[in-house]
């Protein structure tokens, strides 16, 4: 089984993905890590030196490459992965892929992301929590169409990683 976690940045895709993969006994893959490996530089540096359009082209290429593998895994995508280059449509059409939307409340995302915004190219320019909250709200409105196409939706506001993994497993099996 190939499980693809989607959701906004800060929704816990990597943390939940690692734990879910361990529980299921299958490999964990992280889109950002795979992109950095392929490109030989960090995501922030790709954005800075080559721009977001270049990044999105590489992102869909890496996604298709990962999904072409025959073995099962858990994949944590980037927050924008399903929203560009027809990626979500591609994901939904894969017979052996289950997409899971980690739906996290805006206030939780704001709290999680404010302290780490300097490491997130799309957020680094935002100076206050109110600005960040407004940005996330607008982004989620734009991205909701894509996220809501996932096969499963799991709400994860105040739950621990273990509780979120349990929710996913209950929905999968």
For residue 137, say whether it is annotated as part of any ligand binding site: no
Degrees, nearest 5: CA angle 35-37-42: 70
Does the annotation place 78 within a ligand binding site?
A: no
Does 42 show up as a binding residue in the annotation? no
How far is C-alpha 13 from the geometric centre of its chain's CA atoms?
Answer: 5
Rounded to 10 deg, the angle between the 31-39 and 43-67 helix axes is: 110
φ, ψ (nearest 5 deg) of residue 21: -60, -40
112 is in an annotated binding site: no
For residue 14, say whether it is annotated as part of any ligand binding site: yes
Cβ atoms of residues 116 and 20 within 8 Å: no
Is 86 within any annotated ligand binding site?
A: no
Confirm whether residue 96 is marked as ligand binding.
no
* 10 labelled binding-site residue: yes
Annotated binding site for substrate: 32, 56, 79, 143
Annotated binding site for ATP: 10-15, 120
Annotated binding site for Mg(2+): 14
Annotated binding site: 10-15, 32, 56, 79, 120, 143
């Amino acid at each position: 089984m190939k499980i693809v976690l989607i959701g906004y940045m800060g929704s816990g895709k990597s943390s939940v993905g690692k734990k879910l993969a361990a529980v299921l006994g299958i490999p964990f893959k992280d889109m950002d890590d795979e992109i950095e490996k392929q490109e030989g530089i960090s995501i922030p540096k790709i954005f800075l030196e080559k721009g977001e359009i270049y990044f999105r082209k590489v992102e869909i290429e890496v996604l298709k490459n990962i999904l072409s593998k025959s073995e099962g895994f858990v994949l944590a995508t980037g927050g924008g992965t399903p929203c560009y280059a027809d990626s979500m449509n591609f994901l939904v059409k894969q017979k052996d892929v289950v997409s899971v939307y980690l739906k996290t409340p805006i206030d939780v995302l704001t709290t999680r992301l404010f302290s780490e915004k300097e490491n997130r190219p799309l957020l680094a320019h935002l100076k206050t929590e109110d600005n960040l909250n407004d940005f996330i709200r607008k982004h989620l409105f734009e991205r909701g169409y894509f996220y809501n196409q996932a096969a499963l939706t799991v709400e994860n506001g105040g739950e621990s990683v273990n509780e979120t993994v349990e929710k996913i497993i209950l929905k999968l099996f």
